[in-house]
Structure 1
Amino acid sequence: MTKAQHTPGPWQWVEEIDYGYGYTTLEGPDGQEVLTTGGINDGDEPITYMGDDSKPADLALIAAAPEMLELLEDFIDVYVKCPTMEDSSLGIISLKIKAKKIVAKAKGE
């Protein structure tokens, strides 16, 4: 397995107010700035930008998040519907193939 290139987790949202404008920043465990959203730029438009500490791999991980959630939901469904491992083996094989694709996407591969 390759070493992760993204900002390590867990990530958390931190709300801040600066110059009277509210910002929400997604931070890594040591306060690394991954993404900031909110506030107003000079054109009175909300802003969103990758933080100064972000990495290109963070974008890939964020982009894969919806598919990772869907995979986890599918995985739970297989186990709920199949009381034994033998009953779930076909579903698990399908999920394994899907999981490998999503992990590669999350790693930017």
Structure 2
Amino acid sequence: MKKIRKPIQIAALRFEKPSAIAGEPGSIETEVVALCDDGSIWTILGNDNEWVPLPPIPQDQLREDWLAAVGEELVSGFLVQRNAISGILEEYRQELRLAFNSHESAKDAAKAVNAKLQAHR
């Protein structure tokens, strides 16, 4: 049997939408956002639009797994000492966060970090 998605929390936002015609008043629009029991978040604007899913919220474990993969790439592909990995990941935390959020592969992120490490030697 197919599980039915159910909203567990709903928020409504009202705002003024400017008129497309100069000098005419805008309209009041309503956007509804719903958090569902399957973890998805949906939004709808106005009464006659369709519900649209918002992108999933990243999970910390995914980032931790990705960082571990970056560390493994540094050790195996660039011969960085394993005991130096945690310090390197901390030092390049901001760049790695941006790379993760940009969906860059762990291999490409390790390559970029290695290039910076080599430039500092």
Q: Specify the TM-score bucket, using the shorter chain as the normaliser.
A: under 0.3
- By relative contact order (CA 8 Å, sep 6+), the higher-ranking structure is 1
Larger Rg: 2
TM-score by length of structure 1 reads 0.26
TM-score by length of structure 2 reads 0.25
